[in-house]
Chain A
Amino acid sequence: MGNIGLLFEGFGHILTFQHVLLMMVGVTLGILVGVLPGLGAPNGVSLLLPLTFSMDPISGIILLSCMYWGALFGGSTTSILFNIPGEPSSVATTFDGYPMAKAGQASRALTLAFVSAGIGALAGVVMITLLSGWVANFALRFSSPEYFAVYFLAFASFISMGSSAPSKTLVSMMLGFALASVGMDTISGNLRLTFDIPELIKGISFLIAVMGLFGIGELLLTTEEGLRFEGIKARVRISEVGRTLLELPRYWFTVLRSIFIGILMGITPAGPTAASFMSYGLASRSARDKSNFGKGDPRGIVAPETADHSAGTSALLPMLALGVPGSATAAVMMGGLMIWGLTPGPMLFVERPDFVWGLIASMYLGNIVAVILVIATVPLYASILRVPFTIIGPVIVAVIFSGAYQVSNSLTDVWLVVLFGLLGYIFKKLDYPLAPLVLAMVLGDKAEDAFRQSMLLSSGKLSIFWSNGLVSTLMAIGCLLLLSPLLMWVLGISRRRMTRPDLQQGPSENPL
């Protein structure tokens, strides 16, 4: 197999002391920027970019891509420990990661997240190694209707999974769509919902929203819950890490499914965020015992983390092969490539195989280095939770506000975080789910753009969504997922009628 040979040549290029050192520096810096909310991988990578101008391209890309891996891992850390996602793609990790950490199992949650993330990333690289030629052609088949179908699929797999009333889910999602439409509209070029406030023309940053909704909202709730100003009694033992590692094989099916979703979303530039949400949605819906989801189910950590990282790594392939970045960070790296004098695109594989395969080889090593480094830090991070809330609470508030300011150096954003914090608190109190709002905010404007581009392409004919095998399949799966709760419900009713007629009125007895 030609690719394997090229891969070993790639290893030959990168296995030097200097490169391995760069990997460790990159990963460590990445973990740092990932842990600090507001900084995030794209900002971190663009801050580091000028440093690489004087390096050769292989060293440069090793440093940047390893920083990316590190940041992806760091982003999960804050999701689990403080309910503050460092990256959009680690929002889904908060749903079960934070409850598990709160219940005193921070080490277990972190280890689960890091190891499944590592597995996901390696699966992504293996896919790149084996299928690079085929995948590039597959991604070319994606146009606006296919994008819309993928987003539709993500929404459909996530809808109605929560325990809240469907109407509340709908309200939350619609609010998310409204927030996503603030700013300049891609299709018409006009400003929407900005109310002549200059700071709103850039739209509402997703990071600002999650820092408020999750971070501040959670702090308000914790404070209200009787002011238990003591640390979580987290057991911090190395054996805990080991035991969790042994636990992992039990979730092999969740891991496999998440890898599949992650790779699919990564090579179609729908990206890691869609992947992690979709994977979480499917995991919670397909589980036989759903009662634990949202309260610290291990599968609720494994699924989004695996998908997030396999999508994150796979996203580099469209960047290299087509010149289309699959994520914001990949876009920054692509800029770096062009400054180093390389043109991303199909010819890169032919003209600079040393660079491409050096990068791919560094992805194997970089992710292994990253997993080892983050696992080593688990006891350290977990012990943060033992610090009394009276100390850690104000620190988190300070970190959130400075992070909010960093997103685009704007004070308005800090006020927005406060507003979102209140909104998050109200949502929790009234039992409205936050996840649909977040999902709609991340994918809403993309889905809208894709839909309207499709309409422009087809001169207004909806049949474009069934115009070829690919888009029809995606739409059909989406419709099926959307209707499945209804089908289940109908099936359930008819079965219950047949077996136990006395329970017919069961659902309506639910007190409001």
Chain B
Amino acid sequence: MRTSVSIATILAAVLGAATPALAFDPDRPVEFVVTAGAGGGTDIFARTIQSIIGKYNLMKAPVIVTNKGSAAGAEGFVYTATAKGDNFKLAFGTNNAYLLPIRAKVPYTSADLTPVAALAADEFILWVNGKADYKTAADFVAKAKEAGGELKVAGSQSKDTDQILTIMINEATGANLGYVPYKSGGEAAVQLAGGHVAANVNNPSENLGQWQAGMVKPVCVFKSERLRNDAKVAGDASWADIPTCKDSGIPIADYNMPRTVWLPAGVDQDVVDFYANILKKVSETPEWAKYLADTSQSADYMSGAQFADFIKSDEASVSEILKREGWLAN
């Protein structure tokens, strides 16, 4: 009798313990794999989320951030992809997660990663040197055509978002801009501030410091409507004062870069849901709103089927350009 009671107790204890464990909740540190070097846009994206999770206690398990940014971020994605079924590794990146395997022979494919969520869309702006005399995008295009191939655009990485956008500008306007790849948007910003190149297509936050000092100035934003943030950020000018490219001489409507979060392949749906839910909570905090406003990104939370569809269409449209340029790796 005593035995059966104790068995029942044990059973009850086991079952009792098992029931809450069904809903996933990490019981060991979660690694945020930043697929970029320290200090860059992706790094700040991940670390901001880390600090918000810590501040609001959204997750019991501690968060560790590691930077694996070599090979244009492929290091971090390979690291995550090879940890198949690992519930405690999240890769933070942009659309490079699914663009890298298309353009370079990296040892992973986008099928090795499980999309969790996208939290923001970083915008692209055409910037020129602060002393340049062009006023509108049309002036810049005219000058570029006149100069033949002599006007250069500096950008971050090779065959990545910046170079693709430069090619799109050339295709849309008939200009012949040259592209010079640097290691980061920060380097591209300084090259422009020093007047060594004619333009760059940096994200807003990458050029903000130079804009405030008058070393560079924005010409137009690659978005179908103007940016919303109308706080005075650089002297009398605000982000909302920048005209759209489509209205001022470069017919490209919407070009932006999602900030994305991934798990390895082979994880359960409730794990994906758990993290997607936490990221959703993060995206609703005032700190997140402040981060978006400071870096002038657009709020754009996507998860589940919506995010999957977005990936599919983005992948298809960019692949087309890569294909035309002969950059497909396989």
Interface residues of A (CB under 8 A from B): 42, 46, 49-50, 53, 140-144, 183-191, 196, 198, 201-203, 322-325, 328, 331-335, 338-339, 341, 343-348, 408-409, 449, 453, 456-457, 459
B79 to chain A, nearest CB (A): 8
Indicate if the CB atoms of B196 and A457 lie closer than 8 Å. yes
Tell me if B71 is interfacial: C-beta within 8 Å of chain A: yes
- Bound together, the chains give a CA A507 to CA B51 distance in angstroms of 66
- Bound together, the chains give a CA A196 to CA B106 distance in angstroms of 8
Tell me if B191 is interfacial: C-beta within 8 Å of chain A: yes
- Bound together, the chains give a CA A53 to CA B49 distance in angstroms of 12
Tell which of A186, A323, A324, A344 touches B158, judged by Cβ atoms closer than 8 Å: A186
- Bound together, the chains give a CA A347 to CA B178 distance in angstroms of 30
The interface residues of chain A lying within 8 Å CB-to-CB of B285 are none
- Bound together, the chains give a CA A187 to CA B159 distance in angstroms of 9
Per-residue 0/1 for B197-233: is the Cβ within 8 Å of any A Cβ (1 yes, 0 no)? 1000000010011101101000000000000000000
Tell me if B259 is interfacial: C-beta within 8 Å of chain A: no
- Bound together, the chains give a CA A335 to CA B197 distance in angstroms of 25
Indicate if the CB atoms of B194 and A184 lie closer than 8 Å. no
Nearest B residue to A459 by beta-carbon distance?
B149
Tell me if B122 is interfacial: C-beta within 8 Å of chain A: no
Tell me if B109 is interfacial: C-beta within 8 Å of chain A: no
The interface residues of chain B lying within 8 Å CB-to-CB of A183 are 70-71
- Bound together, the chains give a CA A328 to CA B152 distance in angstroms of 28
The interface residues of chain A lying within 8 Å CB-to-CB of B51 are 50, 53, 339
- Bound together, the chains give a CA A126 to CA B71 distance in angstroms of 38
Tell me if B74 is interfacial: C-beta within 8 Å of chain A: yes
Tell me if B299 is interfacial: C-beta within 8 Å of chain A: no
Indicate if the CB atoms of B47 and A323 lie closer than 8 Å. no
Indicate if the CB atoms of B38 and A332 lie closer than 8 Å. yes
Tell which of B50, B54, B103, B197 touches A457, judged by Cβ atoms closer than 8 Å: B197
Indicate if the CB atoms of A325 and B106 lie closer than 8 Å. no
Tell which of A332, A334, A343 touches B208, judged by Cβ atoms closer than 8 Å: A343
B178 to chain A, nearest CB (A): 6
Assuming the A-B contacts A140-B193, A184-B71, A453-B181, are A341 and B104 also in contact, with contact meaning beta carbons closer than 8 angstroms in the complex? no
Indicate if the CB atoms of B181 and A322 lie closer than 8 Å. no
Known pairs A184-B72, A187-B158, A198-B78; list 7 more (Cβ under 8 Å).
A183-B71, A189-B160, A323-B189, A339-B51, A346-B212, A347-B212, A453-B181
- Bound together, the chains give a CA A191 to CA B194 distance in angstroms of 31
B286 to chain A, nearest CB (A): 13
Q: Which 7 interchain pairs have the tightest Cβ spacing?
A: A345-B209, A189-B158, A346-B213, A202-B70, A184-B71, A143-B196, A335-B39
Indicate if the CB atoms of B71 and A202 lie closer than 8 Å. yes
Indicate if the CB atoms of A453 and B182 lie closer than 8 Å. yes
- Bound together, the chains give a CA A160 to CA B301 distance in angstroms of 59
Assuming the A-B contacts A187-B181, A324-B187, A335-B47, are A202 and B103 also in contact, with contact meaning beta carbons closer than 8 angstroms in the complex? no
Assuming the A-B contacts A53-B54, A339-B47, A456-B152, are A324 and B107 also in contact, with contact meaning beta carbons closer than 8 angstroms in the complex? no
The interface residues of chain A lying within 8 Å CB-to-CB of B268 are none
- Bound together, the chains give a CA A46 to CA B104 distance in angstroms of 29
- Bound together, the chains give a CA A457 to CA B38 distance in angstroms of 27
Indicate if the CB atoms of A457 and B152 lie closer than 8 Å. yes
The interface residues of chain A lying within 8 Å CB-to-CB of B183 are 186, 449
The interface residues of chain B lying within 8 Å CB-to-CB of A198 are 78, 82, 107-108
The interface residues of chain B lying within 8 Å CB-to-CB of A196 are 105, 107
Nearest A residue to B197 by beta-carbon distance?
A457
Nearest A residue to B234 by beta-carbon distance?
A347
The interface residues of chain A lying within 8 Å CB-to-CB of B180 are 144, 453, 456-457
Indicate if the CB atoms of B187 and A347 lie closer than 8 Å. no
Please report which residues of chain B, range 223-263, place their CB below 8 angstroms from some CB of chain A when the two chains form the complex.
Answer: none
A436 to chain B, nearest CB (A): 24
Report which residue of B38, B50, B72, B181 has the largest number of chain A beta carbons within 10 angstroms of its beta carbon. B38
The interface residues of chain B lying within 8 Å CB-to-CB of A185 are 158
Assuming the A-B contacts A143-B191, A186-B158, A325-B39, are A46 and B213 also in contact, with contact meaning beta carbons closer than 8 angstroms in the complex? no
Tell me if B58 is interfacial: C-beta within 8 Å of chain A: no
Indicate if the CB atoms of A184 and B47 lie closer than 8 Å. no
- Bound together, the chains give a CA A235 to CA B204 distance in angstroms of 59
Nearest A residue to B163 by beta-carbon distance?
A189
Indicate if the CB atoms of B158 and A191 lie closer than 8 Å. no
What are 22 inter-chain pairs, A to B, with CB distance below 8 A? A50-B47, A140-B190, A142-B194, A143-B194, A144-B196, A186-B183, A189-B157, A189-B159, A191-B71, A191-B105, A201-B107, A202-B71, A322-B190, A322-B209, A323-B189, A334-B38, A335-B47, A344-B209, A346-B209, A347-B209, A456-B178, A459-B178
B120 to chain A, nearest CB (A): 15
Indicate if the CB atoms of B104 and A191 lie closer than 8 Å. yes
- Bound together, the chains give a CA A449 to CA B182 distance in angstroms of 8
A350 to chain B, nearest CB (A): 8
Assuming the A-B contacts A189-B72, A201-B71, are A341 and B294 also in contact, with contact meaning beta carbons closer than 8 angstroms in the complex? yes
Indicate if the CB atoms of B39 and A332 lie closer than 8 Å. yes
Indicate if the CB atoms of B152 and A324 lie closer than 8 Å. no
Report which residue of A328, A347, A459 has the largest number of chain B beta carbons within 10 angstroms of its beta carbon. A347
The interface residues of chain A lying within 8 Å CB-to-CB of B38 are 42, 46, 328, 331-332, 334-335
Tell me if B26 is interfacial: C-beta within 8 Å of chain A: no
Per-residue 0/1 for B88-119: is the Cβ within 8 Å of any A Cβ (1 yes, 0 no)? 00000000000000011111100000000000
Report which residue of B78, B105, B194 has the largest number of chain A beta carbons within 10 angstroms of its beta carbon. B194
Indicate if the CB atoms of A345 and B39 lie closer than 8 Å. no
Indicate if the CB atoms of B190 and A186 lie closer than 8 Å. no
The interface residues of chain A lying within 8 Å CB-to-CB of B70 are 183-184, 201-203
Tell me if B65 is interfacial: C-beta within 8 Å of chain A: yes
- Bound together, the chains give a CA A322 to CA B192 distance in angstroms of 12
The interface residues of chain A lying within 8 Å CB-to-CB of B107 are 196, 198, 201
- Bound together, the chains give a CA A141 to CA B193 distance in angstroms of 9
Indicate if the CB atoms of A50 and B65 lie closer than 8 Å. yes
- Bound together, the chains give a CA A203 to CA B70 distance in angstroms of 8
Assuming the A-B contacts A184-B70, A186-B157, A201-B74, are A346 and B210 also in contact, with contact meaning beta carbons closer than 8 angstroms in the complex? yes
The interface residues of chain A lying within 8 Å CB-to-CB of B270 are none
- Bound together, the chains give a CA A42 to CA B68 distance in angstroms of 13
Nearest B residue to A332 by beta-carbon distance?
B38
The interface residues of chain B lying within 8 Å CB-to-CB of A335 are 38-40, 43-44, 47
Tell me if B150 is interfacial: C-beta within 8 Å of chain A: yes
Nearest B residue to A185 by beta-carbon distance?
B158
- Bound together, the chains give a CA A324 to CA B185 distance in angstroms of 10
A273 to chain B, nearest CB (A): 16
Nearest B residue to A325 by beta-carbon distance?
B39
The interface residues of chain B lying within 8 Å CB-to-CB of A142 are 194
The interface residues of chain B lying within 8 Å CB-to-CB of A457 are 152, 180, 196-197
Tell me if B67 is interfacial: C-beta within 8 Å of chain A: yes
Nearest A residue to B81 by beta-carbon distance?
A198
Assuming the A-B contacts A201-B70, A202-B70, are A323 and B181 also in contact, with contact meaning beta carbons closer than 8 angstroms in the complex? no
Per-residue 0/1 for B45-60: is the Cβ within 8 Å of any A Cβ (1 yes, 0 no)? 0011011001000000
A408 to chain B, nearest CB (A): 7
